[in-house]
Amino acid sequence: MRQIATMVDIAATPARVWEVLTDLPRYPDWNPFIREASGEIAPGARLRLRMFPVHGRTVTFRPRIRTAVPQRELSWTGRLVLPGLFDGLHRFVLTDLDGGGTRVVQDEKFTGLLVPAFAGTVARTTEDFDALNRALRKRCERVRV
């Protein structure tokens, strides 16, 4: 098992962060890591995510939504080919900060037989999470007209 986690504080309400995070058709407008996304944000639903890692090849995943609690948590599980080879539980956890704003923790827990073989890729993914976090903050803090 291997886990990575990143965090960002955003000067916006959890409602605004949730709105941006779950507006999948708009991902190409702001998201440098997951540039294409579609599907329904509901537990059990499948997503189609096309990821563009800084260090690596473009990859398309079809994870299943695990948790979708508005303004609190969005998570999905994905796998490489068969369960138990290389599985990931990806989460965005939103916390309302005292005095305003939202803390977003983005993490992923990787499990399976191939995790050791992908250790370098997993470690480099932190950079992609950080880029997504910065872009999410910029998008959420942008003044809407």
Whole-number Å distance between alpha carbons of 124 and 144: 33
Query: What domains can be seen in the chain, in order of their start residue?
Result: 2-141 (3.30.530.20)
What is the model's pLDDT at position 84?
A: 85
d(CA 34, CA 128): 9
Instruction: Give which of 138, 136, 118 is closest to 128, Cα–Cα.
Output: 136
Which pLDDT does position 70 carry in this prediction?
A: 98
pTM higher than the cut 0.75: yes
How does pLDDT run along the chain (145 residues), one tens digit per residue?
Answer: 999 999 999 999 999 999 999 999 999 999 999 999 999 999 999 999 999 999 889 999 999 999 999 999 999 999 887 788 899 999 999 999 988 899 999 999 999 998 888 888 888 899 999 999 999 999 999 866 4
What is the residue whose two structure tokens read 């959420």? 140
Distance in angstroms (rounded) separating the CA atoms of residues 129 and 7? 9
Tokens 């309400």, residue?
13
What's the CA gap between 48 and 53, in Å, rounded?
A: 16
The structure tokens listed for 64 are 């299943």
Phi, then psi, of 119 in degrees rounded to 5: -55, -45
Phi and psi of 107, rounded to 5°?
Answer: -140, 165
